[in-house]
Amino acid sequence: MNPLKLVGFKTKHLPRAYVNSSVRFHHEFSTQERLQAAKKAGWNVFQFPSEMLKGGDLLSDSGTGTLTAKQMAAMILGDEAYGSNYGYFKLLKTFEDTFGIANADSEIYFFHQCRAAEHALFTQIGGFGNSLKIPSNGHFDTTRANIENNKIKAIDFFSKKLHSPDHSTFKGNMDIDELEKLLKSDLDNIPLVYITITNNSGGGQPVSMENLQAVRKICDKYHKTFFFDACRFAENAWFIKKYEPKYKNKLITEIVTEAFKLCDGFTISLKKDGLANMGGALLIKKSAPVLKKHPELLNNLRDHQILTEGHPTYGGLTGRDIMTIVEGLKTVITESYLDSRIGQVHEFGRYLKERKVPVLEPFGGHAVYIDTDKFFADTKLKRGDFAGISLTALLLLKGVRLCELGAFAFGEDYPHNFVRCAIPRNKYEIQDLYYVADCVAEMYQQRKKIPKAIPVFGRNLTLRHFKARFELK
């Protein structure tokens, strides 16, 4: 008997890359209690108490993950010194190791989260002139808001393939023809070109290395600075490995460092692929073209950081947070983690699709996006009825929380109308996600009975999805 031959079979299911080392039990609430709470919250999912969610809280994958035992252990070593704490030096070294950018060749600014980094960067850039524009493959909502708050125009050049039914890969790519057209016509008004990996506003879709290289080439041609919004850099690298044949045998870490050679800097929320509950950063390479014309930028950013976040060596973070990021960045680039993480997201998507729920395909890395227009296509509900809000509101009663990112969050003319199911990292088992999918599928069966969501407060406010209140009628 050859024992290896005997166990050489493949199984339908694979184990996760981890086991639970600590769990938290749900509290019990009745549907009636959830109804009262939902009404009190004006049916706004952001205002609904998370304690009442028993199914799955898929509102966001940001800062919502479960820490690993190594992260918890590292927290104990967190050094809460005001200046030059122990973790700061570890974090600098981890950045160097992860992104392959030498500390000596860059300036790094830590912030409590990414939007604070965006605020600093775009406040400074806003001072460069009038009529500025920042193109992207798809700006995230806070990035857009921070850009526009500084009177800069945020432009999205989504891939034309995003909504094509062909399931082509890398639907997160930037439309480079549109980018070049803009650079030709408006060269002096473009301080930066941005690319979001993966493209959260564009269905969580990945960006290919080929597209990153093409954008770099165009930026070189027009002497432009190229930045990444790098929140999900490791998940993006996983897709490059899976979909771009040239990278099939490369390590994730090799793909990451190759990608980051192409940019002049990046902003990052460490609440995503930092696997931490809090944290953000801005890195600028000293070779960035923007510094030739604006060498004062680095010092101005440092002042901004000190005024708003604290000493540069803690940047709005506790020593404990810093230690979780150090450990998180090491874990996130391991292939077993990424296989398990993205495999779970894809299994959830497959299960939803099997139940006929219209979802964007192929699935991205951190979320499954329900196509709201298709979901309600054969009902009387129009975009202006904000049916995505109604769907997410009603699911609260089942203890499930999703996020509308479409007609209400971004306006009725926005090119996509999604309800996003974002999966927190290392938090749920597939059974929890099957429950969410069963609830969504059941709502899909009943779609003709779902009412309109009427905004009774906040319809005309900026960032209205965070603040509005609704009635369901």
Ligand X SMILES: Cc1ncc(COP(=O)(O)O)c(C=O)c1O
Q: Which stretch binds ligand X (CB under 6 A): 78-86, 136-144, 330-338, 443-451?
A: 136-144
Q: Rounded to whole angstroms, how far apart are CA atoms 59 and 52?
A: 14
Task: Please identify which residue in 38, 56, 59, 62 interacts with ligand X, judged by CB under 6 A.
Answer: 62
Nearer to ligand X by C-beta: 94 or 113? 113
> Does the protein bind ligand X through residue 66 (CB under 6 A)?
no
> Does the protein bind ligand X through residue 143 (CB under 6 A)?
yes
> Does the protein bind ligand X through residue 140 (CB under 6 A)?
yes
Of residues 186 through 205, those in contact with ligand X by CB under 6 A are 196, 200
Q: Which stretch binds ligand X (CB under 6 A): 8-16, 94-102, 137-145, 339-347?
A: 137-145
Question: In whole angstroms, how close is the CB of 65 to ligand X at the nearest point?
Answer: 13
> Does the protein bind ligand X through residue 229 (CB under 6 A)?
yes
Question: In whole angstroms, how close is the CB of 112 to ligand X at the nearest point?
Answer: 8
> Does the protein bind ligand X through residue 277 (CB under 6 A)?
no
Nearer to ligand X by C-beta: 216 or 271? 271
Nearer to ligand X by C-beta: 65 or 280? 280
Q: Which stretch binds ligand X (CB under 6 A): 138-146, 163-171, 290-298, 453-461?
A: 138-146
> Does the protein bind ligand X through residue 44 (CB under 6 A)?
no
Of residues 205 through 224, those in contact with ligand X by CB under 6 A are none
> Does the protein bind ligand X through residue 231 (CB under 6 A)?
yes
Question: In whole angstroms, how close is the CB of 195 to ligand X at the nearest point?
Answer: 10
Nearer to ligand X by C-beta: 205 or 390? 205
Task: Please identify which residue in 269, 331, 392, 417 interacts with ligand X, judged by CB under 6 A.
Answer: 269
Beta strands 265-269 and 280-285: pairing type?
A: antiparallel
SS3 per-residue string spanning the chain: CCHHHHCCCCCCCCCCCCCCCCCCCCCCCCHHHHHHHHHHCCCCHHHCCHHHCCCEECCCCCCCCCCCHHHHHHHHCCCCCCCCCHHHHHHHHHHHHHHCCCHHHEEEEEECCHHHHHHHHHHHHHCCCCCCEEEECCCCHHHHHHHHCCCCEEEECECCCCCCCCCCCCCCCECHHHHHHHHHHHHHHCCCEEEECCECCCCCECCCHHHHHHHHHHHHHCCCCEEEECCCHHHHHHHHHHHCHHHCCCCHHHHHHHHHHCCCEEEEECCCCCCCCCCEEEEEECCCCHHHHCCCHHHHHHHHHHHHCCCCCCCCCCHHHHHHHHHHHHHHCCHHHHHHHHHHHHHHHHHHHHCCCCECCCCCCCEEEEEHHHHCCCCCCCHHHCHHHHHHHHHHHHCEECEEECHHHHCCCCCCCEEEEECCCCCCCHHHHHHHHHHHHHHHHCHHHCCCEEEEECCCCCCHHHHCEEEEC
Question: In whole angstroms, how close is the CB of 140 to ligand X at the nearest point?
Answer: 3
> Does the protein bind ligand X through residue 465 (CB under 6 A)?
no
Q: Which stretch binds ligand X (CB under 6 A): 84-92, 139-147, 249-257, 350-358?
A: 139-147
Q: Rounded to whole angstroms, how far apart are CA atoms 337 and 346?
A: 14
Nearer to ligand X by C-beta: 175 or 229? 229
> Does the protein bind ligand X through residue 65 (CB under 6 A)?
no
Nearer to ligand X by C-beta: 269 or 344? 269
Total binding residues toward ligand X, as defined by CB under 6 A: 14
Nearer to ligand X by C-beta: 142 or 300? 142
Q: Rounded to whole angstroms, how far apart are CA atoms 385 and 450?
A: 11
Nearer to ligand X by C-beta: 118 or 385? 118
Q: Rounded to whole angstroms, how far apart are CA atoms 277 and 327?
A: 12
Nearer to ligand X by C-beta: 271 or 304? 271
> Does the protein bind ligand X through residue 142 (CB under 6 A)?
yes
Of residues 88 through 127, those in contact with ligand X by CB under 6 A are 113-115
| Interface residues toward ligand X, by CB under 6 A | 62, 113-115, 140, 142-143, 196, 200, 229, 231, 269, 271, 280
